[in-house]
Each structure stands twice: as C-alpha cells, then as structure tokens.
Structure 1
Amino acid sequence: MREQTRDYQALRELMVQDQLVSRGITDPRVLQAMGRVPRELFVPEHLRVEAYEDHPLPIGRGQTISQPYIVALMAEALQLKGRERVLDIGTGSGYAAAVLASMALEVFSMEKIPEVASQAEKNLQQAGFSQVRVKTGDGSQGWPEAAPFDGICVAAGAPAVPDSLKEQLSVGGRLVIPVGLEQGLQRLLLITRRSDQEFDRREIGDVRFVPLLGQEGWS
C-alpha cells in the first residue's frame, strides 16, 4: 500500500507540472490543492491507472470527471483565499468539490442524480473530505438556503447563465460556468458580481461539458 501511495503521489506531482504549470496555472493554492487531493479515489477502480492522464474519464450514468487542467482552470478563476463559502454544481465523483474544499472555508455541492451524489459522498469520506455538504437537487437553481456564496463553480454546460445562481452570489463573488447554445460545446464564462444589480462577464475559453439539466438549464 505504501508503494502504491508513493506512485500516485509521483503521478500527482507530474500532473501538476506537465498539465497545469506548463499551461499557465500559477495560483499556488490551486497547485497545492491539485497536488494533494488523491484523484485516484474519485474515479472507478478499474480506471485508476488513468486517474492522472490529461483527459476526462467516465464515472457512470453518463457523467464524467473533468480533466485535471479544467478543474484547476475553474478553481483558479474563483481566486479563493481560504475564507470563502463556495457552491459546487454538478458534484459528479466529488473530485472538484474536494479540490475546492482544500482552498475554501465551506463547500456545498449539488448533484441531480441521487446515485451519483451517494457515490460522491462515499468518495469524499474515503478521501478525508467529509466536511463537504452534498445535496441532491436541481443545480441550475442553486442552494438558496445556504446562500450567499463567494464562489460558484458549475461543471455542466448551460444554455444561458441561470439568474438563480447570479442572485446567490455575494457582492464581489465569482461564478464560473460553461455556457453555449449547443449541448457539448460551450464558452467558459467568469461572472463577477459588482453590486446588487451589476455583473461583469469575461470569457475564459472553449470547453466541453455534459449539459446542465434543470429548470434554468436544459430540459
């Protein structure tokens, strides 16, 4: 077991350098989190040999775990300092929630598929991130009872930015979300709340995510 752990640690360090630093990820807190969270515990056991490769992996029920670079890119865009409350939409296997939990004070995570949410909770528990709160529900409408959030990270593509998520941002808060009129092809957007009514919008780049299903997502 110790030998296996050393191998995975070496793969994490290689992933950080070859996939993140080389592509311009510079936030030391992101790099530290990505180098610490055991990604192999968030993929199906038969795919653990591929856990640190540069591509997404299937986790069942049509869902995927994003490639490491995309997780790091979205986490970096949130500019977390350690005292924030963060909402993670699209829990999936729980990996992104674990990365965010390594960087923020509180993480709330929403998953639409009950079986996927249940497995994510098990993964998070096994990896030592039992403090992440996981809820089954419509992520496109956020988690109003726990709002406001300093950061919201959405791991599914929406046809437009959901108003509910914008409303649940604190002033100064940041929302990272893939948006596109075609399912499977989006632009990654950063929305920053400047006041009660004012929001800035910046495009980060092209991405491909599974669709965000829900009342303010895809039907």
Structure 2
Amino acid sequence: MNFEQARFNMIEQQIRPWDVLDTSVLALLAVVKREDFVPAAYRNMAFTDVELPLAGGRRMVPPRVEARWMQELQVQRHEKVLEIGTGSGYMAALLGHKAQQVYTVEPDPQLAAQARDALRRAGVLNVTVVDGDGVAGLPAEAPFDVVLLSGSVDEVPQALLDQVKVGGRLGAIVGSEPAMEARIIRRTGEREFQREDLFETVVQRLAGFAPASTFHF
C-alpha cells in the first residue's frame, strides 16, 4: 500500500472538506505517521473515516475529528496540555508537536504501554503517558493551558474544568447518541467559563466516564 498517497487522499478528501484549512495542522497531519499508531491488523485502514478498533474494545477517533480539534484548540509552543484517553497515542503525538509538554492519561495498561512505545518510536519525547482513568484529571501537574477529552462524555466533570488555567480552554464531545456536540469551554475567570459549540459528531464514550444518573427524588 502507498501510505503517502493514502495520507494525501485523507487530507484532501476528508480533512479539508471538514473545514480544516489551517496550513500548520495540514502540514502536521502529513508529518505524523498515523499508520504507526494503528494496530497492525488495521494498518492499511489508518486513513479511513472510521473509528478503528483498539485493544479492550476501545476505538480510535476518526482522523477528521482529530484534525478539527487540532485546528480549534490552537495549541501553542509554550503551553502545557492534558489529554484524557490516550488510546493509540496518535492524538498525543499531534499535540506533542505543538505544545511544550503533554500529559495523557490512559486507564488500559495495554494501550498505555503500546502508546508509550509508538510515541518513542515516533521520536515524540515531550509526551508523558500516565496510567489512570482521568476522571479526576491530573491535579499534581495542574493547571493546564489546554485539556482535551479524546472521547465523549455525558457532561464535563468540574474537576477537569478546575484544572484549566484562567485564559485556557478545554475541548470535549458532550452528549449521548445520536446527537453529540464538540465543545470548547474557555476559562475566563476563577469561576467564569464560556462555552462554544463547534460541530456535531458521534464518538465512543470515554472509558470510566459513566453517564449522569437520570434518577430524581
């Protein structure tokens, strides 16, 4: 398989039509080799517009969603980033190319080990993979300029919002099937947050993030 041609086709046929026009993001997608983060059995599908299977029943977020997050979050070289849900490690690699330091939290030990190996082989040295479910964030390293939830949640835990710097932002896909909304929440003050809904999509629920209870007294 010609991976370079497949990568070019992904960018031109999936990413650009999804309003990802930031040239720095498009250049990054051309450099970070997604196929090196995909399980071997699915390597030839690395550039398809689907959620590829990972160990433990998990799935990779589709490339177009990864690309939109990179465009919308606008990570800067001086910033510290927290990702919840490492999965394959590919999103962490993209973030690592933009940020000063990335911490990414993964509850599945097998996936965490595979992501560490893939990141090492890709030469991404400023990403630290942390074992854990991520629901409580990573308070020991807080605050963060950017927090990204790489999966969907019913609602964003306050504990994660509290770990965003004033002036920082958190990205999450919020809601339940069939309608989920990709959202950026910006921290504008100690207790003030502004919400911006970006686009609709559906992705797998983040491991460990149970839906909110519908029981009422």
Same fold (TM over 0.5): yes
- Give the superposition deviation at 1:111: 0.6
**TM-score, structure 2 length as denominator?**
0.91
Deviations 1:20-55 (A, max 9, x none): 122211222211211111100111112111111122
Q: Does 1:189 align with 2:183?
A: yes
> 2:35 aligned with 1:43, yes or no?
no
Alignment of 1:58-207 (within 5 A): 58-180=53-175, 182=176, 185-207=179-201
Distance 1:208 1:140 in 2: 20
CA deviations on 1:141-162 (whole Å, 9 max, x unpaired) are 1111111111111112212111
- Give the equivalent residue in structure 2 for 1:34: 29
Letter in 1 for 2:52: L
Q: Return the structure number with greater helix share.
A: 1
Contact 1:91-1:111 at 8 Å conserved across structures: yes
- The two structures, once aligned, show a CA RMSD in angstroms of 1.6
State whether residues 161 and 170 of structure 2, in contact with CA within 8 Å, keep that contact through their aligned partners in structure 1: yes
Checking the alignment, whether the CA contact within 8 Å between 2:37 and 2:118 is kept in structure 1 is: yes
AA partner of residue 152 (structure 1): V
What displacement does 1:174 show? 1.1
Offset of 1:205 from its aligned partner? Answer: 2.1
Question: 5+ residue gaps in structure 1?
Answer: none
Q: Distance in 1 between the 2:42 and 2:110 partners?
A: 19
Taking a change above 3 Å as real, the CA distance of residues 108 and 13 of structure 1, as seen in their structure-2 partners, is: same
Out of 56, 67, 74, the residue aligned to residue 51 of structure 2 is 56
Once the two structures are overlaid, the 10-residue window that deviates more, 137-146 or 7-16, is 7-16
Q: Which residues of structure 2 form unaligned runs of 5+? A: 212-217
TM-score by length of 1: 0.90
Hey, what does 2:215 align to over in structure 1?
A: none
Deviation at 1:212, TM superposition (A): 2.5
Q: How many residues align?
A: 211
Asked if structure 1 preserves the Cα contact closer than 8 Å seen for 2:100 and 2:126, the reply is no
Alpha-carbon displacement from aligned partner over 1:50-100 (angstroms, at most 9, x marks no partner)? 111122210121111111100011121211232211111100010100011
Partner of 2:210: 218
Partners of 2:55 and 2:110 within 8 A in 1: no
Match status 1:22 vs 2:11: no
Aligned residues of 1:157 and 1:184 also touching (Cα < 8 A):
no
Q: 1:160 to 1:116 in 2, by over 3 A?
A: same
Identity in percent: 35
Aligned equivalents of 2:80 and 2:4: distance in 1?
A: 28
